[in-house]
Structure 1
Amino acid sequence: MQLFTQLSWPMNKKALIEHAKEDTGIDRDLLDQLTKLPDREYKSAPDVQNALVTGE
């Protein structure tokens, strides 16, 4: 998930989505998946990946 590797962690869902929207090359399916993530703080890119897979 290279999109999130250069970010300062932790980051909440709203900030993740805002960052993703700034990336003009983001896949619309990924952006849609991010909007469905639980509203919580994420500690790292792998934490986001895990949440995308598990829904937690």
Structure 2
Amino acid sequence: MKVVYANFILLQLVPDWLNECQKFIDGLTSFLFQTVQGGEQLIILCQTRRFVSNS
């Protein structure tokens, strides 16, 4: 009986969890889009640094 009850609670929680998950993914996606240019600059900077320190 406990298992059935737990499953019922899970079923009730899942839509909220999926909704939160979707919000998180949307937020992460927009954050990534915003930081793509900054990230590219950072990668170039790191590669340049590594090149300079190796030579």
Q: Name the TM-score class by shorter chain.
A: under 0.3
Q: What TM-score comes out, normalization by structure 1 length?
A: 0.24
**Bigger helix fraction:** 2
Larger relative contact order (Cα-Cα within 8 Å, sequence gap ≥ 6): 1
Which of the two has higher C-alpha Rg? 2
Q: What TM-score comes out, normalization by structure 2 length?
A: 0.24
**Bigger strand fraction:** 1
